[in-house]
Amino acid sequence: MLLNIPLVDLSAQHESIRDEMIEAMAGVVDSSQFILGDELRSFEAEFAQYCQVPYCVGVGNGTEALHLALRALGVGPGDEVITAANTFIATALAIAHSGAEAVLVDVDPDGYSMDAGLLEDAITPRTKAIIPVHLYGHPANMSDVLAIADRHDIPVVEDASQAHGALYKGQRVGSFGRMACFSFYPGKNLGALGDGGAVVTGDIELAERLRLLRHFGQVGKNVHSGIGFNSRLDTLQAAALRVKLRKLEEWNGLRRTAAGLYQNLLSETDLVLPAEHPDCTHVYHLYVVQHEERDRLNDALASAGVHCGIHYPTALHEQEPFRHARTVPHGAPVAVERSRNMLSLPMFPGLDEEKVKYVAEQVCSALGATVVR
C-alpha cells in the first residue's frame, strides 16, 4: 500500500491541544491586550524557566532574535561575527542586518555544527561575537566553543532555533551563551501559529536592552533612549505557545522514539545516520542522513510517497548575499560536500511506528538494502 508521508505534519500535535489553544487565544481577544501584557510576560517566565535561564524576551521571529541580540552587544559595521558555513541563511542574515560581516567556519566532519578546531583561525581583532548553531536539534560542541571564546573574551550567542529542549552535559541549550536565540516558526520543535522568537539570557542588563530594542527603544511613554525596532512576540502567539510549551517534553520524546526506530531499521544500509554525541541529548528537529546518491534516493522516495527535505542544498557562501564572505578554511569544503549528500527524512511528533517502518522500507528498497526487523 502506498502511504503519503510529509516531511513535517503539524496536525497530529495540534489535534490534542486544539481546544486549549483556542481557549487561550480567546482569552487574549477578550482582554484586548494584543501587544505585550500579562500573557507574554507569563510565557517569557515559563520559557526562561524551561531553558534554565533567568530572563526571556519575546521578539517577532528567530531572525530578529539574532539581530537584536547582536545589537544588544553593540555589534555593528566594521565588526565580524563568526558562525557555521552550514546553517539556515537567517543566522547569517541577522549578522548582515547588524551591519557586521559574517565569517563562516566549516563543519565538524563528525557532526553537524561548526568545527570548534577551526574557530581560533577565524578569530581576528574585529571578531565581536560567535554564533554556534545547534543544527537539526543536536547541540554544538559548547565546551570547546566557550573555552576558545573565553580565551579571546568574545561573547557567544547560541542559535538554538532548531533545538528547544536539547541538552548538553545534562543542561539545556540556551543556557550556555551570553544570550541564546530561539525561533517559534510553526515547524520548529516549539512552534507558534505564525511567526515568533525569543532571546534568553542570564544577564539582566542585556535583557533590559533587548526589551528596549524590541519596542521602539521606549523607556517610558514618549521617551526613547535609542534607535529601537518594532519586534515583539505577539501576545496571541504567546498564549498558544504557553499551551504548547507544556507538551514540548512529550513531543521531543516522540521525536527521539521515531529517531531510535529509524536508527534500528536503517542500520544495515550504507546511509550515514545521525550520531548523538555522548554529551548530548538530540531533539531531532530534523532526522538528517547522508548518501552519495542523495538526489536519486530523494526522487525514489518521493515516488513512493515519502517527502523528504534538504537542509540545506548549498553552503551559505554559495548563496548570493554571502558569496564574498570569508570562509575558514577557504571554501569550507566539508559544508559544501555535506550540502550535496544530506537528506532529511520525515520527522515530527506523530510519526508513528507504522510510518517510520514504511519510510525505512522505501529507503531500503531504493538502496537495495534489507530492512532490519
Ligand X SMILES: *Cc1c(COP(=O)(O)O)cnc(C)c1O
Q: Which spans of this chain sit near ligand X (rule: CB under 6 A)?
A: 61-63, 87-88, 90-91, 133, 159, 161-162, 183, 185, 195, 197
By DSSP bridging, strand 218-220 and strand 223-224 are antiparallel
State in angstroms the smallest separation of the CB of 73 from ligand X: 17
Closest distance of CB 334 from ligand X, Å: 18
- Smallest separation (angstroms) from ligand X to the CB of 162: 5
Give the residue with the Cβ less far from ligand X, 200 or 261: 200
CB of 64 to ligand X, least distance (A): 7
CB of 105 to ligand X, least distance (A): 15
Question: At closest approach, how far in Å is the CB of 50 from ligand X?
Answer: 18
Q: Which residue is nearest to ligand X (CB)?
A: 62
Nearer to ligand X, 183 or 201 (CB): 183
SS3 annotation, the chain:
CCCCECCCCCHHHHHCCHHHHHHHHHHHHHHCCCCCCHHHHHHHHHHHHHCCCCEEEEECCHHHHHHHHHHHCCCCCCCEEEEECCCCHHHHHHHHHCCCEEEEECECCCCCCECHHHHHHHCCCCEEEEECECHHHCCCCHHHHHHHHHHHCCCEEEECCCCCCCEECCEECCCCCCEEEEECCCCCCCCCCCCCEEEEECCHHHHHHHHHHHECCEEECCEECCCCCECCCCHHHHHHHHHHHCCHHHHHHHHHHHHHHHHHHCCCCCCECCCCCCCEECCCCCEEEECCCHHHHHHHHHHCCECCECCCCCCHHHCHHHCCCEEECCCCHHHHHHHHHEEEECCCCCCCHHHHHHHHHHHHHHHCCCCCC
Q: How far is CA 49 from CA 83, 123, 200, in A?
A: 27, 33, 10
Question: For ligand X, which is the closer residue by CB, 65 or 304?
Answer: 65
Q: Which is nearer to ligand X, 108 or 195 (CB)?
A: 195
- Dihedral sign (CA 244, 112, 143, 197): negative
| Angstrom distance (rounded) from CA 81 to CA 40 | 30
Instruction: Return the sign of the alpha-carbon dihedral for residues 324, 329, 332, 335.
Output: negative
Choice between 161 and 235, CB closer to ligand X: 161
User: Which one, 87 or 237, has the nearer CB to ligand X?
Assistant: 87
Shortest Å distance, C-beta 61 to ligand X = 4
Query: Least separation, in Å, of the C-beta of 184 and ligand X?
Result: 7
Give the shortest CB-82-to-ligand X separation in angstroms. 15
Q: Which is nearer to ligand X, 285 or 355 (CB)?
A: 285
The smaller minimum CB distance to ligand X, of residues 139 and 197, is found at 197
Burial annotation 288-309 (CB, 10 A radius, 16+ → b, else e): bbbbeebeebbebbeebebbbb
Pick between residue 129 and residue 366 the one whose CB is nearest to ligand X: 129
If the CB atoms of residues 130 and 266 are measured against ligand X, the closer one turns out to be 130
- Minimum distance between the CB of residue 352 and ligand X, rounded to whole angstroms? 25
